[in-house]
Amino acid sequence: MAKVPSVPGAVVAAGGLVGGYGVARWTKKRQLGGVVLAVAGATAARQWHQRAGGKAAGALTVAYVAAFAGSHPLAKKVGAWPAVFGVAGAVAVTSWAIADRRD
């Protein structure tokens, strides 16, 4: 049986940030957005750990959480969607550079 390639952690993390915000906004239920954010973050962290080790996974997980937290004050300056896309892009680039580019 052929091995199915996994989605890179960079894509999972960026998708979690964008998807979590989108779900929270469109359903008007922040908790659902939080579930999307948490599941994507845990999935990305597992992939980061497998590809780059524990220290890198820890650092990238901190970056993911910091991006989520940082998007809130940034949104007051540039708007919600630009803030979310900006932090998602930053996390994706960082993830790619540290853990995903080897694939």
What are the tens digits of pLDDT across the range 6-42?
889 999 999 999 999 999 999 999 999 999 999 999 9
- Closest C-alpha among 54, 63, 69 to residue 94: 63
Quickly count helices (H) and strands (E) in the chain. Answer: 4, 0
Contact assessment for residue 49 and residue 32, using Cβ atoms and an 8 Å cutoff: no
- Give the tens place of pLDDT for each residue, 57-69: 999 999 999 999 9
